[in-house]
Amino acid sequence: MFNEALTELAGELGFEYYAYLNLQPVGTFAVSNYSPEWQDRYFSKSFNEIDPVVQIAKSTMKAFTWTSENTRTVRSRRVRRFYLDAAGFGIRSGITIPVATAFRRMAMLTIASHRPSLSLDRDIDPVAAATAVAQLHVLIEQAEIEPTSKPSIRMTAKQALMLKWSSEGKSMRDIARIENMTYSNVNFHMNNARKKLDAGTLAQATALATKLI
């Protein structure tokens, strides 16, 4: 019902697709009517890390329009590849509305079209748009709606083991003794795990790891 309602809403606005993205260090996920193949590709190729729409949303935190047609000015080969892949799935232009969520994170709603460019009949009301997306975010969180796609966090066996011990209250010196490793090696693996979790501190990484382990 949720998918049908948002698809219908996007259609009434003249768009074919919608995509809600909740950006979290653990549990980042999408609810969308994009092709399942594109959704799987988006996360398996880590496109969420380079997606220009996500980057603009983070930096502006206000509603904006975009198009994938201006790829000639893009220097990054990987970003150009992303635009071409998206266009291959009929995603060429759209409107994105980001909103701030708890713990300085962000969620965003995109409605997209196969058309190469947008011709809006009227300007976007940023306040109304942000309010609507904020309400949508609360609804999705409260209803615990099943994601249509989400990334997997890839860790080495050592990184996962370090976090496992840390989540059980062991210090890095304890882990070094238990696993017969040097303190510097434990610190190395713990810091790499922290970076993969997008955590600011090792304590935060450990807290996030308890949701994964």
Q: Which of 19-28, 123-132, 185-194 bottoms out in mean pLDDT, i.e. has the lowest? A: 19-28
Do the strands 29-32 and 64-67 form a parallel or antiparallel pair, or are they unpaired? unpaired
pLDDT above 90: residue 85: yes
Helix, strand, or coil (residue 1): coil
Confidence of residue 18 (pLDDT cuts 50, 70, 90): very high
110 torsion bin: left (phi>0), alpha (psi -120 to 50), beta (else): beta
pLDDT above 70: residue 90: yes
Helix, strand, or coil (residue 100): strand
- Torsion angle of C-alpha atoms 45, 10, 114, 32, degrees rounded to 10: 20
Closest CA to 20 of 90, 92, 103, 94: 94
Domains of the chain: 2-143 (3.30.450.80), 157-209 (1.10.10.10)
